[in-house]
């Protein structure tokens, strides 16, 4: 009986310790999240003061369970789960310390004026499913290490100033269902695995790639071929018109020569008949 009471006491003590540890974790931020948020705020310029509540005091405790104390942030079990800072007139750059938010599953910084490179450290956000950095002023190349984010469903980078080639590795992202790099400065051939046909349709259509002067390959090649046929048609029409004009001119000259020849022959015949004496 005494042993039974002792066992129950140990169980209660263990439950109390676990409850205390859970409460302690919920009462303070994960140190990785705190570093992530602090450095991201330092790297961004906020002329419209939309991030005025992003302060060190809040960074030390940004979440309470599923509740977030930071505008634009969503929490899940005390960790930063989603960051959505869209259309806030933000400038500056994306901090490489963003990779410290290891529980992050969605990052949306679209429709701002953020410049600089896309930090390759994003590869360490292994739970990331949505990456939307569209409509900014980002430059440099797309890192092939981005393919290490195996859960990516969405990559939206349209309307930036990105250059170089689209990494072949991105085509290996099996979960990728939305991909847009239109209106950048990309070049080279579109990776095969991003343009593979599913039935009679490409995995991603031409609208995902347009607006990059140096980019080529399917599904853009149909557009290029269409333009090429148009040019050939114009050239063909020009050449055809030239040939027809030349044939008409040549025929006209031949007719004129024939008429002139007959006229001269008739005049010559008349002269001969006039010069012959009468018998």
The sign of the dihedral angle between the CA atoms of 241, 244, 250, 252 is negative
125, two tokens? 């956000």
Residue by residue, pLDDT tens for the chain (279 residues) are 555 555 455 555 445 444 444 444 444 568 999 999 999 999 999 999 999 999 999 999 999 888 899 999 999 999 999 999 999 999 999 999 999 999 999 999 999 999 999 999 999 999 999 999 999 999 999 999 999 999 999 999 999 999 999 999 999 999 999 999 999 999 999 999 998 766 556 689 999 999 999 999 999 975 544 444 344 433 343 444 444 444 545 455 455 456 555 555 555 444 434 433 443
Looking up tokens 């990776």 gives: 191
142, two tokens? 């797309």
CB 101 within 8 A of CB 124: no
DSSP state letters, 155-195: EE--SSEEEEPPPGGGGG-TT--EEE--SSEEEEEPPHHHH
Domain spanning 19-216 has what CATH number?
3.80.10.10
pLDDT of residue 15: 52
- Cα separation, 106 vs 168, whole angstroms: 23
> H/E element holding 44?
strand 44-45
């Amino acid at each position: 009986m005494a042993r039974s009471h002792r066992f129950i006491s140990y169980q209660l003590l263990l439950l109390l310790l676990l409850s205390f540890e859970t409460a302690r974790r919920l009462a303070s931020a994960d140190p990785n999240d705190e570093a992530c948020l602090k450095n991201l705020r330092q790297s961004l310029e906020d002329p419209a003061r939309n991030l005025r509540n992003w302060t060190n005091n809040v960074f030390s405790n940004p979440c309470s369970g599923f509740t977030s104390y930071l505008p634009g942030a969503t929490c899940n079990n005390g960790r930063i789960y989603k960051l959505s800072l869209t259309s806030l007139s933000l400038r500056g750059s994306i901090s490489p310390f963003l990779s410290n938010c290891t529980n992050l599953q969605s990052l949306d910084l679209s429709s701002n004026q953020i410049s600089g490179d896309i930090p390759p450290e994003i590869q360490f956000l292994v739970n990331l499913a949505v990456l939307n950095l569209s409509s900014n002023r980002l430059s440099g190349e797309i890192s092939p290490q981005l393919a290490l984010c195996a859960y990516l469903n969405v990559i939206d980078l349209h309307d930036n100033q990105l250059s170089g080639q689209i990494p072949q590795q991105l085509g290996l992202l099996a979960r990728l269902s939305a991909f847009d790099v239109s209106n950048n400065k990309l070049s080279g051939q579109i990776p095969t695995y991003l343009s593979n046909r599913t039935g009679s349709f490409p995995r991603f259509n031409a609208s995902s790639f347009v607006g990059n002067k140096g980019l080529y390959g399917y599904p853009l090649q149909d557009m290029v071929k269409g333009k090429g046929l148009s040019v050939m048609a114009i050239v063909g029409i020009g050449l055809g018109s030239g040939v027809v004009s030349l044939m008409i001119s040549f025929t006209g000259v031949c007719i004129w020569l024939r008429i002139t020849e007959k006229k001269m022959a008739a005049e010559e015949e008349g002269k001969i008949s006039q010069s012959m004496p009468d018998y």
